[in-house]
């Protein structure tokens, strides 16, 4: 309560102050005027570099813009500063991303203060999901995301990607500033409510002969509060010392580095090698929605800059292509060959060939081997042959390849009394891969995101809810954002 009174009082004092001129002019006495040395005259005035990202934003901001601190803005300011430590933590959530956001805004010639918007939208949480389905730092809806080339595949969701979504958001703001005559308040209102809605309210005011600035428009409660929220954060950051706010120390330099790694990369393997928590790696690379990057020729990752040297090491396990080319899929109700080919970015023909499927019908609970994408490395059928040599027996061959004798006999249409011939070709075959893949389940760690539940996670990784409960020894089904759980996936 005392702090609220101080904020109100300080604003009143500012409003009541006026600059007055000196009543008596000061006469200059040439004799008393110090003479500067030539070297001193030539010395240009050098500004000190900004100490942190906040000082940089203040220096680069629209200093001449008119800031209206109304009752709503004042309310939001007081809500923030009633717990200074909490507000400091709130601002610190931007630690890994705000420098990149400011850089991109500046490159696009947009106000750098727009870097405050993700605080309002998502608390700078790339995993954030609103009840209406808006996603990521900038809370893109699916339709708007598609307009700005934010794609969604089985492997990734660009709206969650902090860097791709920032690029898209800046493109959207660029459009809104042009559409609304560079009025920052109208552009922000349009970002929140949509440009069509704002145009409609502006036309209504024009018909009534009213002003069309943001504060004159008749807008919904959500939009009306959006601008004061922005103003509140801006005011507290720009005048932190006056309000007793201790801004977190975020440097004016990138704390993450973009790296390219050949092939597909498991997030858990990379986090272990870099010796960072998997939840941090997930956060920096929130666009990846599975346990690994997509199966492509290279993977893009953002990692803490102080860990980048590890990937330059010639002994790094990520120097060579690390492909995870196959996954097993248990057929469930509604599955068909075309939906599976689309989901996993492959072809119906390949799925049929690999799994010896002759018809287009699938049986529920059957396990299929699926190639992940149409890369060159996947353009083969994993079909193995054993050429019988002297001394070979069915027992030796079954032991060598880990195949029960009955399966070896069945695959090759043999009986127990069959004799092996030198040079005979025996199919070790891809039918065995199903058994291998099930015996090589990989346990990964998954960071629970806002809006997740056991059903969603089971769908995400194509596993049963019960398997998640069992491996984590859950007594109930309640999950918390940020919680790390184990998932046993059927991949190799």
Query: Which residues belong to the active site?
Result: 121
Place of tokens 């808006």: 134
CA distances from residue 186 to 179, 255, 269, 289 in whole angstroms, order as listed: 10, 33, 46, 34
Reading phi first (left if > 0) and then psi (alpha if -120 to 50, else beta), residue 484 is in beta
Count, residues in the chain: 492
385 beta partners: 427
CA distances from residue 409 to 66, 387, 402, 404 in whole angstroms, order as listed: 84, 15, 13, 9
**CA angle, residues 65, 71, 76, in degrees to nearest 5:** 85
Which tokens in the block code for residue 86? 């909490």
How many CB atoms lie under 10 A from the CB of residue 436? 16
CA-nearest of 319, 327, 344 to 265 is 319
Stated as kind and residue range, the H or E segment containing 198 is: helix 195-207
* Exposure string for 125-142, b = 16+ CB within 10 A, e = fewer: bbbbbeeeebbbbbbbee
What CA–CA distance (Å, rounded) separates 470 from 387? 43
Which tokens in the block code for residue 457? 């996670």
CA-nearest of 386, 364, 374, 370 to 437 is 370
What CA–CA distance (Å, rounded) separates 383 from 423? 18
370 beta partners: 327
What CA–CA distance (Å, rounded) separates 136 from 86? 22
* C-beta of residue 150 within 8 angstroms of C-beta of residue 167: no
CA distances from residue 147 to 151, 156, 175, 346, 394 in whole angstroms, order as listed: 10, 17, 12, 26, 61
Helix, strand, coil % (nearest 5) of the chain?
45, 10, 45
What CA–CA distance (Å, rounded) separates 368 from 370? 6
């Amino acid at each position: 309560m005392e702090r609220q009174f101080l904020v109100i009082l300080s604003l009143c004092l500012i409003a009541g102050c006026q600059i007055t001129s000196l009543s008596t002019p000061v006469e200059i006495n040439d004799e008393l005027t110090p003479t500067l040395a030539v070297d001193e005259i030539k010395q240009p005035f050098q500004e000190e570099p900004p100490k942190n990202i906040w000082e940089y934003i203040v220096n680069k901001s629209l200093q001449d813009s008119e800031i209206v601190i109304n009752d709503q803005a004042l309310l939001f300011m007081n809500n923030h500063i009633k717990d200074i430590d909490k507000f400091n933590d709130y601002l610190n959530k931007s630690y890994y991303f705000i420098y990149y956001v400011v850089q991109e805004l500046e490159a696009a010639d947009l106000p750098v203060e727009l870097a405050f918007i993700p605080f309002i939208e998502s608390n700078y949480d790339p995993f954030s999901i609103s009840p209406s389905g808006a996603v990521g730092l900038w809370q893109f809806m699916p339709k708007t995301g598609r307009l700005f080339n934010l794609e969604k595949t089985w492997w990734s969701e660009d709206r969650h990607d902090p860097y791709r979504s920032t690029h898209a958001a800046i493109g959207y703001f660029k459009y809104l500033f042009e559409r609304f005559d560079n009025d920052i308040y109208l552009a922000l209102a349009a970002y929140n409510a949509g440009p069509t809605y704002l145009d409609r309210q502006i036309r209504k005011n024009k018909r009534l002969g009213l002003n069309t600035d943001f504060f004159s428009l008749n807008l919904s409660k959500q939009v009306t509060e959006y601008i004061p929220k922005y103003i509140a954060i801006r005011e507290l950051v720009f005048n932190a010392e006056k309000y007793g706010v201790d801004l977190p120390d975020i440097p004016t330099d990138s704390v993450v580095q973009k790296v390219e790694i050949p092939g597909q990369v498991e997030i858990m393997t990379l986090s272990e090698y870099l010796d960072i928590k998997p939840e941090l790696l997930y956060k920096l690379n929130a666009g990846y929605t599975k346990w690994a990057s997509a199966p492509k020729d290279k993977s893009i990752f953002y990692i803490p800059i102080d860990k980048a040297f590890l990937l330059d090491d010639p002994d790094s396990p990520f120097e060579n292509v690390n492909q995870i080319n196959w996954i097993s899929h248990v057929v469930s109700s509604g599955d068909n060959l075309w939906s599976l080919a689309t989901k996993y970015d492959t072809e119906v023909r390949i799925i049929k060939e690999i799994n010896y499927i002759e018809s287009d019908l699938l049986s529920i609970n059957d396990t299929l081997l699926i190639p992940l994408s149409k890369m060159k490395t996947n353009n083969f059928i994993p079909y193995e042959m054993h050429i019988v040599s002297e001394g070979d027996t069915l027992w030796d061959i079954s032991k060598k390849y880990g195949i029960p004798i009955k399966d070896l006999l069945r695959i090759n249409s043999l009986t127990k009394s069959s004799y092996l011939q030198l040079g005979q070709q025996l199919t070790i075959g891809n039918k065995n891969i199903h058994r291998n893949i099930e015996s090589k389940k990989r346990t990964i760690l998954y960071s629970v995101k806002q809006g997740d539940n056991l059903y969603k996670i089971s769908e995400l990784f194509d596993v049963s809810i019960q398997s998640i409960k069992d491996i984590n020894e859950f007594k109930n089904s309640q999950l918390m954002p940020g919680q790390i759980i184990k998932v046993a996936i059927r991949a190799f």
